[in-house]
């Protein structure tokens, strides 16, 4: 089958990546969608079961830091669009294993950019998924795309550094990059290290929600379907060389979040909420909130459509219906087959730093 466009998604077996891949595969049967993922602990092949037999989907197990692999992909696949989502994202871990975050988030971006830039057929778009955390925290100021980057944790610092690499390819070569910076994204299939699935998993196991520290932290939560729509809107209408915030007005204090989830899962009155809360030490550095403006993206026609009530209800139901999704998940890819409709490939090339 001849495809009109070939799209490479790095980190396509992760939470956001798998939702993006499924949307692309189903919305655009005339596009070939290639998922490059090394199936780290926070990824699961099960996230893509609904598309693994589609003729326009190809899985490549491999490391975005591997220059040999990336060179091979760009020399043989005629990539038109790159969505770069592969990254280490767990903030707490970044304080402990900073070198791993530097390797994947910075070096991986450098390798990918280099391979894409050197390709005989240059991609038409290179979309880099960053985070609102690159701005640092603010109690009152709302960050827009021109706000300075002042990251305050190692994870955010590596994402900001990768942004500078991406931007340098636009400045030096006019390579067609676009950067997105999003709020906290939530929804089905998110790994249990993140706050919403962590609380849900604890409650489902009759354990208390663990609240880090006592400061009044809050986060803006964006449902994953709205995040995917933002990526597709940026691909369709975004201007190369630009940055787009992807945010929501839905700001939820973490204590309120825990209370809502406790009531939804345990069906108890407000008077018993404290029985399901446990305060634990905070991480070394914590930002209280990340308010961003998405007016620039909204001018392209994007709006967050899923309300908090609808999104969290759907998310809770998914985790209740799939309690063993992560506990039973394996990051081992099954048999490698290449027949049409199950287009999996595996490259064995060392990428150990």
Q: Give the closest residue to 115 by CA, choosing from 55, 62, 152, 189.
A: 62
Which distant-in-sequence residues (6+ apart) come within 8 Å of 340 by Cβ? 1, 55
Torsion-angle region of 37 (φ positive above 0: left; ψ -120 to 50: alpha; else: beta): beta
Q: Are 247 and 292 in contact (CB under 8 A)?
A: yes
Residue in 37, 107, 132, 287 annotated catalytic? 132
Catalytic: 132? yes
Q: How many CB atoms lie within 10 A of CB 348?
A: 7
Q: Which of 128, 135, 155, 186 is catalytic?
A: 155
Please say if 133 is a catalytic residue: yes
Catalytic pick among 133, 225, 226, 229:
133
Q: How far is CA 2 from CA 29, 31, 59, 123, 252, in A?
A: 11, 9, 18, 18, 46
Give the count of beta carbons closer than 10 Å to the beta carbon of residue 27. 11
Distance CA 159, CA 189 (A): 23
Q: Which residues are catalytic?
A: 132-133, 155
């Amino acid at each position: 089958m001849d495809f009109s466009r070939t799209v490479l998604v790095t980190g396509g077996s992760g939470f956001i990546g798998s939702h993006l891949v499924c949307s692309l595969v189903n919305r655009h049967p005339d596009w070939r969608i290639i998922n490059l993922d090394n199936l780290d602990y926070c990824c699961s092949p099960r996230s893509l079961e609904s598309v693994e037999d589609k003729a326009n989907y190809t899985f490549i197990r491999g490391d975005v830091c591997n220059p040999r692999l990336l060179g091979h992909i760009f020399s043989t696949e005629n990539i038109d669009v790159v969505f770069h989502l592969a990254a280490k994202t767990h903030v707490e871990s970044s304080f402990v294993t900073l070198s791993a975050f530097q390797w994947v988030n910075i070096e991986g971006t450098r390798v990918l950019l280099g391979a894409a830039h050197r390709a005989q057929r240059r991609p038409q778009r290179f979309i880099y998924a960053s985070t609102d955390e690159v701005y640092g925290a603010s109690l009152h100021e709302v960050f827009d795309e021109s706000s300075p980057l002042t990251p305050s944790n190692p994870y955010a610092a590596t994402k900001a550094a990768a942004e500078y690499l991406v931007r340098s390819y636009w400045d030096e070569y006019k390579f067609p990059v676009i950067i997105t910076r999003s709020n906290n994204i939530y929804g089905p299939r998110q790994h249990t290290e993140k706050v919403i699935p962590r609380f849900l998993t604890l409650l489902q196991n009759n354990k208390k929600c663990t609240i880090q520290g006592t400061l009044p932290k809050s986060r803006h939560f964006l449902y994953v379907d709205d995040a995917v729509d933002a990526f597709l809107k940026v691909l369709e209408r975004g201007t190369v060389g630009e940055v787009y915030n992807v945010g929501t007005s839905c700001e939820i204090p973490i204590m309120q979040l825990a209370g809502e989830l406790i009531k939804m899962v345990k069906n108890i009155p407000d008077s018993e909420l404290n029985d399901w809360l446990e305060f634990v030490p905070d991480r070394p550095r914590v930002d209280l909130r990340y308010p961003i403006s998405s007016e620039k993206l909204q001018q392209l026609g994007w709006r967050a459509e899923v309300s908090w009530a609808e999104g969290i209800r759907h998310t809770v139901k998914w985790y209740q219906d799939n309690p063993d999704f992560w506990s039973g998940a394996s990051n081992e890819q099954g048999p490698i087959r290449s027949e049409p409709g199950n287009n999996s490939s595996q490259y064995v090339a060392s990428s150990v730093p």
